[in-house]
Structure formats: C-alpha cells, structure tokens
Amino acid sequence: MARIVMAQLDFWVGDVAGNTMRMIEAVRDAHARFAPDLVVFPELALTGYPPEDLLWRRGLQIRVQEALVRLKREALPVAIVFGYPEYAADGLYNAACIVEGGQVVATYRKHRLPNYSVFDEKRYFTAGDAPCVYECGGLRLGLTICEDIWGPEPAAQAAAAGAQVLLNINASPFHVDKGVERSLELAQRATETGLPIVYVNLVGGQDELVFDGESLVCNAEGGIVYRAPAFAEGLHAVDFDDCGKPLVTLPVAEPLGLEASVYKALVQGIQDYVNRQRFRGVVLGLSGGIDSALTLALAVDALGANRVMAVLMPSAYTSAMSIDDAQAQAQTLGVQSVVLPITESFMAFKHTLEPVFRDLPEDVTEENLQARIRGVLLMAISNKTGRMVLTTGNKSEMAVGYATLYGD
C-alpha cells in the first residue's frame, strides 16, 4: 500500500525562499500526521503562479537553484513532487521533479503549454515531449502538469511507459463551472488510460487570478472518489493498493453552488491581494444600495470588520433612507463608518467651473462631478491611512462600460 498526500496550499509569486520553507514545513507536518510515501505540491510551487517576466530575471534563477539545493539538503523524511522552472541549456521548462533521499530522482517537463485566456506560457517556456514514470511506495507514478490532463497525449504516454497512477500538479484558476469541467476531463483521461488520477491544485489569490484548490482523486472508471474543500488550504492523504486502486475512506467535499463559489472566490481574491500588498485594510464608499452593501460584506468576510472602513458621502440629492440604510449596514457588520457630506465640495467645484459652465444646462456632467468628488475623498483616505480602495461597481455595469472615470 502507498500513501500520497496532496498539499493544497497557497504559494506567493516571487517568494522562492518563503515558498521553499512552506514546502519543508508541510512535509514535516504531513510526515507527523500521515506518514506518507509521497507529498505532492502544485505547479510552479517554488515560484508561485504565474511568475511571468520574473522568469527572465537572473535573481529569480539564482533563488530557484538555491531552493533546489536546500530541498535536497534538508533530509526530508519522505519523497516530494513539486513544480518549478527548470533552467536548462536548451530552454526554460515548466517542470516537476521528485526529490527523494536528498536527490532529484526524476524530472518531467510540461508538454501542453496553454496560450489562451489568462495563460501566456509559450512566451516563457519550451514544451517537453517525454513521459516520466517513477516508482515510489511500490507504485509507478506518471507525472503530468496542469494542461497536460486536458488532452489525451501526455496521459497516454505515461500509461504506455508503465504508470499505474497519474499525478497531475496544477495552478488552475477559478471560473464559473470550472469544477464541472475538471471532473469531466479527469473522467475522460481516466477511462482512456484505465488509470486513477491524483489532481493537486493551487489555492489562493494572485492579482486578478484566484485559484480554488478543490484537489481531486479520480478512480480508473472516471468516478471522483475524493474532493478537497474549495478555497481552503490543507493536506489530504489518500491510500492506494499495490495495483494503484485508491482506497478512499475520507468524506468527499460537495462542490459549491454557483453563488457560494463566486462569493468565496471574491473573498479569497480580496484577502490575498490586500495582505500581499501589505495594506492595513480597505476603505469603500457606502451608499445604502445593494452593490456597496455586498462589497462591504465581502470585505468583512475577507479581512475582518476591524480592517474595513466605510465612508458615507451624501449629497443634497441623497435620501435620508439611503443614509439610514448605510449606517445600519455598517453597524450590523461592526464596521467603522464616517459621514463626509460632499455638498460644500460640490458647490465649490460648480463655483470654480461657473465661468465655463455659465448658460449651459445641467446634465450628466454634474452627476459625474459628484462621483469624482467621492473618488477624491476615498483616495485621500487611502493615501493617509494605508487602506486600499474597493470599488463598488457591479459586473453588469462593467460589461456595458457604465462608470465614471476616477469616480466612486
């Protein structure tokens, strides 16, 4: 019997030393809790994903080489698989390696390089073409990386090379229905090859990308026998018999519904962006409407009420109900709120512009001016307090370009 631990963890782009330490700590934790034969980390765990143009910096290359040396010298108690950029004489590869007994005992180079949507891997990497099968814990493991599992060839090559279990390490970002798409692809690869699949995914937010985790184990018949919780870090141990059949007794996490998954993705994105940029917290304009109310709830769930500041900026046109609703929202969530009326500022701007606007009828210009005054106030608070401004626009407005430039 072999035991594999899926390390569904968050790795920061560019923080090679921190990511290396994270891996070492996770291996020690996994060894103490599960005594596994192998711990599997996500795609490009060493550098974080996506490293983009950092890959071309000499400093990153040096740190990657230092990290590889450290991982070999650490005398880790179990074998590990992790993703890293391999700087080879014939090109740069998106690679995975197995370290066991202080040595790199196997290396695999990603075959299928995605170059669509948010992916731009052909700009940086050279594609590999050889399979990699390595025996660990009595099982022959076939390595693949992310996009490789979305087509038949890499999995078929690993199966032909004698693999009993396919390992697929990932940095697969979230979008609506991504979990369904993954499950279908894994089922297809499993039934094509007759092999179970261990799918390990990154979790966490990186700039505009959010990785949802939801690591999976698929049996040879294409059934999902284990699913790790989405948007949560964790170590997940799965046993296999000597023929590679998963012996799963763990509960399978139910996939999140549409609204829950989108909400958690937004929370994850806010939390990780704010924390990685070292902001003290966030500030947002609270109007009493549904858009800013939802933004406030997301911010509180992401950061805690003590790191969120709500600013009410009523004008002469703001109803008393809107002010009451906004204050009730802030109080309900325990958020610090402040009222900064903009009427005087608005009149001052109109007075300044009067020589130009004289004899011209009022139109959307005055509406936009109020939004821009609010934007100025929020940015001033951001500058002074070290809080990031959260916009409160919704996706429908973004889709049709309905917004005020520089406004709130």
Which residues participate in catalysis according to the annotation?
43, 110, 146
Phi, psi angles (nearest 5°) of residue 70: -65, -45
What the block records as the tokens of 198 is: 């261990």
Q: Which neighbouring-strand residues pair with 169?
A: 145, 200
Separation CA 207–CA 274 (nearest Å):
10
Chain-centroid distance of CA 321 in Å reads 38
Both tokens assigned to 362: 């009022």
Give 378-384 contacts, CB < 8 A, sequence gap 24+.
378/283, 378/284, 378/285, 378/311, 378/408, 381/283, 381/309, 381/311, 382/283
Evaluated on CA atoms 44, 46, 51, 55, the torsion sign reads negative
DSSP string for residues in 92-141: EEEEEEEEETTEEEEEEE-S----STT--GGGT-PPP----EEEETTEEE
Strand partners, 91: 88
Backbone angles phi, psi at 276, to 5 degrees: -70, -30
Buried b (16+ CB within 10 A) or exposed e, 169-180: bbbbbbbeebbe
